[in-house]
């Protein structure tokens, strides 16, 4: 089992929001036994305390890792987002402290696509309203306002991993698919990319949103865009709550311009299952409301647990940063018979030559070296003979621009 500079049993792993047991099992199997597990998110104050002595933290979408949290997390080595979105993490605050952030970009995509597909059918048949009436003892046996999805147009905004899977599934049901994306994307099947969001809004019977939370996607669907949708169309949002102005959506649903909506994500979401969900969409009959569970299937959570814990363990044991979302990516081989120095530094001119000068002046023989940089940070990895590693580590810590460094035995 690979050794880190610190005894693995002392490396605290903080896991929040009930990440799947597969993550716990993986850490334990790799020798990381100091695991603090919380089935829910923590309050801000509790988070600040719990993260103080944590080396790794695993979160889902609720926990906000802000500048203040990073400032308190003096020992933090890496972050694992057990989900796709990383908008809940101040990625820059992590980067400048030399903390890579990992996520699971694929594992729950199918779950989201399946949910959206089901919702689309439910909305086109007016099921939310009919079901509610049945629960109250009513009986609306009527075809009025009910349609097959076959032959209708689905407009997908954001044709990435989720949007493109949804496209394939929807075509199998006989829908015509169009999509809008800021990047030119290869169409799946017979789908067709349109040039503007307005074009998509004007043509679609159902619009489904699958963009990440970015400055450019914030409130991108407001009264103006909703007004451009076809009368009687439906809106589905399982992306992020910041993409849709929820009050504007409530207005167009009340006015009858849109026939229905299915919303999984909200501008403000309850911190825990015990808190009240407040939304202007509550009590609207033609709306399916779900508590941010697009990716919450047992299959997805199990896979995410494995995927993200493996990325964290690999970084801890071997230094590999492949697929980090904010950090220079370095894929490293095993280092049998050598000790490995990891040096994270500000990306300023001359650091690499200074690293090599220091190693050379200390008589340290380098057997291999790897480097990647991004606009802010450089990550250099040096494999050296065992007897020199502590001496080399001390020397490297003094190099100007050093953010942090560690050694793997
Ligand atoms: N409801 C839930 O439980 C879940 C929600 N999500 C959300 O779904 C989002 C999308 O996931 P993926 O498809 O995996 O992401 P992705 O990164 O594969 O795809 C996003 C697509 O959006 C496009 N895009 C970016 N800005 C755009 C803009 N202004 N207009 C149009 N297109 C734009 C990108 O070019 C890309 O093709 C995630 O970022 C996450 O926030 C993801 C998983 C579960
Ligand atoms: O399951 C979660 O906690 C969040 C899912 C999500 O929104 C994501 O993967 O980005």
Q: Which residue among the candidates 20, 110, 210, 240 is catalytic per the annotation?
A: 240
Quote the ligand 2 centre to 61 CA distance (angstroms).
Answer: 5
Q: How far is the CA of 275 from the centre of ligand 1 (A)?
A: 27
User: Exactly one of 20, 292, 340, 406 is catalytic; which is it?
Assistant: 292
Q: Assess: ipTM above 0.95.
A: yes
Residues 6+ apart with CB under 8 A from 340: 318, 319, 332, 381, 382, 383, 384, 407, 408
pLDDT tens over the chain, length 409 residues:
667 678 999 999 999 999 999 999 999 999 999 999 999 999 999 999 999 999 999 999 999 999 999 999 999 999 999 999 999 999 999 999 999 999 999 999 999 999 999 999 999 999 999 999 999 999 999 999 999 999 999 999 999 999 999 999 999 999 999 999 999 999 999 999 999 999 999 999 999 999 999 999 999 999 999 999 999 999 999 999 999 999 999 999 999 999 999 999 999 999 888 899 999 999 999 999 999 999 999 999 999 999 999 999 999 999 999 999 999 999 999 999 899 999 999 999 999 999 999 888 888 889 999 999 999 999 999 999 877 777 778 888 889 999 999 999 8
Residue nearest to atom 6 of ligand 2 (CA): 83
Residue 107 CA, ligand 1 centroid: distance in Å: 14
pLDDT value of residue 365: 87
Closest residue to atom 3 of ligand 1, CA basis: 294
Task: Please compute, for residue 248, the number of CA atoms within 13 A of its CA located in the half-sphere on the CB side.
Answer: 18
Residue 290: name the closest of 56, 150, 123 by CA: 123
Which two three-digit tokens encode residue 346? 């500000």
Element at 261 (helix H, strand E): strand 260-263
Index of the ligand 2 atom closest to the CA of residue 83: 9
* Nearest protein CA to atom 5 of ligand 1, as residue: 239
Indicate which ligand has the atom closest to the C-alpha of 60: 2
| 64 CA to centre of ligand 1 in angstroms | 19
CA of 238 to the centre of ligand 1 (A): 9
Q: Is 269 a catalytic residue?
A: yes
Q: Which residues contact 106 (CB under 8 A, 6 or more apart)?
A: 161
Neighbouring CB atoms inside 10 A of 375's CB total: 7
Q: Note the pLDDT of residue 1.
A: 66
Q: Which residues contact 277 (CB under 8 A, 6 or more apart)?
A: 266, 269, 270, 289, 291
- Counting from 1 in the atom list of ligand 2, the atom nearest the Cα of 108 is 9
Q: Is 240 a catalytic residue?
A: yes
Residues in CB range of 222: below 8 A, 6 or more apart: 244, 245, 248
Radius of gyration, CA atoms only, the chain: 25
Ligand 2 pocket check for 104: Cβ under 6 Å: no
Q: How far is Cα 130 from Cα 186, in angstroms, rounded to an integer?
A: 39
For residue 383, list its beta bridge partners: 340, 368
pTM, two decimal places: 0.95
Atom number, ligand 2, closest to the C-alpha of residue 103: 9
């Amino acid at each position: 089992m690979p050794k880190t500079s610190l005894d693995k049993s002392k490396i605290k792993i903080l896991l929040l929001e009930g990440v799947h047991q597969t993550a716990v099992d993986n850490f334990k199997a790799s020798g990381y036994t100091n695991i603090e597990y919380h089935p829910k998110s923590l309050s801000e104050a509790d988070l600040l305390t719990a993260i103080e002595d944590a080396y790794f933290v695993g979160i889902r979408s609720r926990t906000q890792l802000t500048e203040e949290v990073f400032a308190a997390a003096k020992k933090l080595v890496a972050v694992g987002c057990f989900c796709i979105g990383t908008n809940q993490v101040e990625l820059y605050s992590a980067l400048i402290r030399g903390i890579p952030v990992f996520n699971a970009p694929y594992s729950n995509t199918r779950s989201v696509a399946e949910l959206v597909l089901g919702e689309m059918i439910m909305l086109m048949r007016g099921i939310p309203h009919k079901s509610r009436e049945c629960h109250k003892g009513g009986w609306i046996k009527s075809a009025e306002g009910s349609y097959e999805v076959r032959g209708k147009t689905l407009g997908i905004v954001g044709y990435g991993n989720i949007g493109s899977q949804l496209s394939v599934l929807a075509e199998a049901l006989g829908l015509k698919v169009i999509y809008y994306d800021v990047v030119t994307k290869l169409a799946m099947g017979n789908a067709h990319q349109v040039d503007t969001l307005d074009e998509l809004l004007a043509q679609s019977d159902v619009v489904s949103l699958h963009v990440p939370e970015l400055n450019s996607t914030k409130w991108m669907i407001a009264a103006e865009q909703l007004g451009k949708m076809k009368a009687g169309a439906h809106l589905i949002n399982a992306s992020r709550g910041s993409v849709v102005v929820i009050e504007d959506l409530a207005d167009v649903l009340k006015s009858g311009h849109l026939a229905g909506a299915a919303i999984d994500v909200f501008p403000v979401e309850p911190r825990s299952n015990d808190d009240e969900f407040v939304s202007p969409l509550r009590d609207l009959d033609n709306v399916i409301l779900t508590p941010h569970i697009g990716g919450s299937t047992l299959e997805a959570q199990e896979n995410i647990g494995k995927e993200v814990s493996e990325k964290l363990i690999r970084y801890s044991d071997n230094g590999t940063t492949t697929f980090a979302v904010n950090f220079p990516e370095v894929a490293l081989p095993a280092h049998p018979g050598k000790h490995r120095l990891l040096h994270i530094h500000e990306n300023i001119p001359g650091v690499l030559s200074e690293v090599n000068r220091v190693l050379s002046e200390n008589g340290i023989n380098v057997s291999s070296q790897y480097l990647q940089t991004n606009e802010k940070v450089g990550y250099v990895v040096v494999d050296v003979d065992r007897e020199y590693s502590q001496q080399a580590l001390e020397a490297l810590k003094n190099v100007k621009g050093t953010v942090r460094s560690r050694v793997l035995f």
